[in-house]
Amino acid sequence: MENVMADAIRVVALGNDGDGVAQSPQGRVFIPGTLPGDEVLLACQNGTHATLERVITPGPDRVTPPCHLAGTCGGCRLQHMALPAIAAWKTTRVIEALERCGFAALPTPTTHQVAPHGRRRVDLAFRRVDRQIVLGLHRRRGDVVDMTECTLLHPAIFALLAPLRQMLHSLPAVHAGGDVQINLLDSGPDLLITLDGTPDANDRRILAQFCKSHAIPRISLNARPPETLALTGPVFHHFGAVRVVPPPGAFLQAALDGEEAIRTAVLAGLPRKGLKAGIIELYAGCGTLSFALAEHAKVAAYEGDKAAFACLKQASGGTRVMPALRDLNRQPVMATDLAKAAAIVLDPPHAGAGAQVAQIVAGKPRHVIYVSCNPTALQRDLTPLQQAGYRVDSVTVIDQFLWSAEVEAVCVLTLPGSTRQNRR
């Protein structure tokens, strides 16, 4: 590792992970905690990564972080950046990914940024440290930082953290530590816990009492399959008017208003005519989009996770959702089926749609609505569609992971021959 840098350098951009990018005497360097326009001194540089010594002159988008744990807790990398600037940066990332696909004359994007204190799911780590429980997120490449405040979490989740620390401290099955995932469902907080000990009857008694005291319907053990440790009431959630029973650790969009923004953009992208042919939905999950789509057409909803599929199937009675269990990486829906649908809606995982893309290209369905949580995968998946002649009719960028580098987008694509007037 090299010595302190004596001369100030200027940060000129943000990297994909949210670190500032500058040109030092030793070459291009990534500097956590910096922004474009910052004049900074580096404490040290090791290859392409450096540690900030101090900001000499702040850039135009630098603000005072709203949380005292900023720069320590691993949850927020960009609290030193104004929220409007973050939204603009994330929108640029999505547009640049589409431009690298080869799309020209892109429409003006719509951007939606969620409000603070709206995060309704979180994965936390906990450790026994000096006869107490530390509960929070890992600092970058470091230990767990106790989450004593948070500008992200929904108040109902944050209020649970203090009693959760006390309960975990008293739990015999906690030796060194573990992890806990919290989903805020309509029925209340739903907890999935990873323990480093084996829970016995005493552990279950403690967990059941904790549930009763804090209106928690269910706590489950992270196992294969998950095991219910305490159940004190019905577990349920709603997608519109449809009530579902999510499995432990179920995937939910991070924020309710983020989910609503995604759903609104997807529905707006449906074709105005021809929906009698039905919609094919890929990676349907527990039905976040399925039941809303079914208000407009019948929906063949494909999902590969068995627990999510069981949830979707149980809730689909009386709706126009037709669930199918299918590993789309190993057995993608074929081009002949895709070609018959009025629209294809897909919300793939972070790695993208994989083998499914080739079948979409071969089937050439006229309308494709792609929900992305990763600009890199977005570029990889949509490049073949651009080469097949698809165009982008609309782009909606959703920032529901505030102060992070994560960004979601809804891209509505059509083949030539469709018209914008046929859009909703």
What are φ and ψ of residue 168, in 5° steps? -65, -35
Domain 83-115+251-422 falls in which CATH fold?
Answer: Rossmann fold (3.40.50)
pLDDT (tens digit, 9 = 90+) per residue, 240-253?
A: 999 999 999 999 99
CA-based angle 123:204:234, to the nearest 5?
Answer: 70
CA 302, 307, 311, 313 torsion: positive or negative? Answer: positive
pLDDT (tens digit, 9 = 90+) per residue, 254-306?
A: 999 999 999 999 999 999 999 999 999 999 999 999 999 999 999 999 999 99
Number of other CB atoms surrounding residue 191 within 10 Å: 26
CA-based angle 19:24:27, to the nearest 5?
Answer: 90
Binding residues: 253, 283, 303, 347
User: Which residue intervals of the chain bear CATH 2.40.50.1070?
Assistant: 121-236
Q: What is the pLDDT of residue 5?
A: 52
Distance CA 79, CA 76 (A): 6
Q: Return the DSSP state at 374.
A: -
What band does 421 get if pLDDT is binned at 50, 70 and 90? very low
Arch. (CATH architecture) of 121-236: Beta Barrel (2.40)
| The CATH number fitting domain 9-57, selected from 2.40.50.140, 3.90.79.10, 3.90.120.10, 1.10.357.10 | 2.40.50.140
User: Which residue intervals of the chain bear CATH 3.40.50.150?
Assistant: 83-115+251-422
Residue given tokens 């079914």 in the structure block:
294
Q: What is the pLDDT of residue 184?
A: 98
- Among 76, 101, 211, 373, the active-site one is 373
The token pair that represents 324 in the structure block? 């199918």
Of 143, 191, 138, which Cα lies nearest the Cα of 167?
Answer: 191
- Is pLDDT of 115 > 80? yes
CA 62, 151, 89, 268 torsion: positive or negative? Answer: negative
User: Which residue intervals of the chain bear CATH 2.40.50.140?
Assistant: 9-57
- Please list, in sequence order, all residues whose beta carbon lies within 8 angstroms of the beta carbon of residue 414, skipping any fewer than 6 positions away: 366, 367, 368, 390, 391, 393
Binding residues for S-adenosyl-L-methionine: 253, 283, 303, 347
The order of strands in the sheet holding 132-138 is 144-146, 132-138, 121-129, 177-185, 188-195, 218-221, 227-231
Q: Compute the mean pLDDT over every residue in the chain, rounded to the nearest whole number.
A: 95
Distance CA 321, CA 365 (A): 20
- Please list, in sequence order, all residues whose beta carbon lies within 8 angstroms of the beta carbon of residue 408, skipping any fewer than 6 positions away: 258, 262, 371, 372, 373, 397, 398, 399, 400, 401
What band does 15 get if pLDDT is binned at 50, 70 and 90? very high
CA distances from 208 to 102, 159, 171, 298, 400 (A): 56, 18, 12, 42, 33
373 flagged as catalytic: yes
The token pair that represents 378 in the structure block? 């977005």
Q: Is 266 exposed, middle or buried (0-12, 13-18, 19+ CB in 10 A)?
A: buried
Distance CA 104, CA 226 (A): 47
